[in-house]
Amino acid sequence: MKRFSEHIVESVVNPLIKLFYPDECRNCGGILSFGEVILCDSCFSKFEFQPKYEEDATISGCQFSYIFSLGIHNGILQEYVHRMKYEGVQSIPKRLITRADEIGILPSKFLREKTLIPVPLHPAKVRERGFNQAEIMAQALSSRLECDVLNALKRIRYTLPMVELSPEERKRNVKGAFAMRNCNVQREVVIVDDVLTTGSTVAECARILKEAGCDVVGIFTLTRAN
Ligand SMILES: [Zn+2]
């Protein structure tokens, strides 16, 4: 839970700082307009994603037909993920996914008519953050393509942040952390998450979904660690 002082900083102090020192575009240095994040619209329209697409890929011991990420987890994209998760800028997934679709780098034919399953957050985390970033990503995808979003999974155990854990610790950390909600999944499913690192989280989600009879075909993430 956030302390009261942190809420004051977020809701009062930061907006005041922005009023007197507006954000500048990271690329051209121009003042960002309302709704622009990190890059102005003009620079964003020239942003190169460097998408990562892998077919018949195995990650963390789990086999997928494909793994797709919009780009590498560094630079501007890493900052977008950070601003989305830790500063609550919920417009980011829609902005990135819309642009990716416009320039034709979304793996549309693999996503179309699939069921998108966001990696769930623990309910305490959702209360703290106010949203699940994987869910707003899935919704942004579904509004561009003919796929639906289903919160088929729930997190039943609080897990440690993965950032400082080794690959083995990550596996242990998420083992048994997820369970199925009471729902019926008819179509092929794609797991959606913000960042792909060792893949232990998505592999554990896939294990639970497969046990429930789901045909898990792919993974979609905003970024992939190199
Ligand atoms: Zn710019």
Can you give the residue ranges of every domain in the chain?
1-45, 47-224
pTM attached to this predicted model: 0.89
Distance from the alpha carbon of residue 41 to the mean position of ligand 1, in angstroms? 7
**168: phi > 0 → left, psi -120 to 50 → alpha, else beta; which?**
alpha
- Cα 47 to averaged position of ligand 1 atoms, centre (Å): 10
Report how far ligand 1's centroid is from the alpha carbon of 195 (Å). Answer: 25
Tokens 């289903």 belong to residue: 150
Q: What is the DSSP letter of 162?
A: S
Below-50 pLDDT ranges, the chain = none
DSSP β-bridge partners for residue 191: 117, 219
pLDDT at 5: 74
What's the pLDDT at 109?
87
CA of 222 to the centre of ligand 1 (A): 22
User: What does the pLDDT read at residue 183?
Assistant: 84
Which residues are placed with Cβ below 5 angstroms of ligand 1, an ion?
25, 27-28, 40, 43
Cα separation, 198 vs 203, in Å, equals: 9
3-state secondary structure of 137: helix
Residue 46 DSSP label: T
| CB count in 10 Å sphere of residue 51 | 16
Given the candidates 3.30.70, 3.40.1350, 2.60.120, 3.40.50, the CATH classification of the domain at 47-224 is 3.40.50
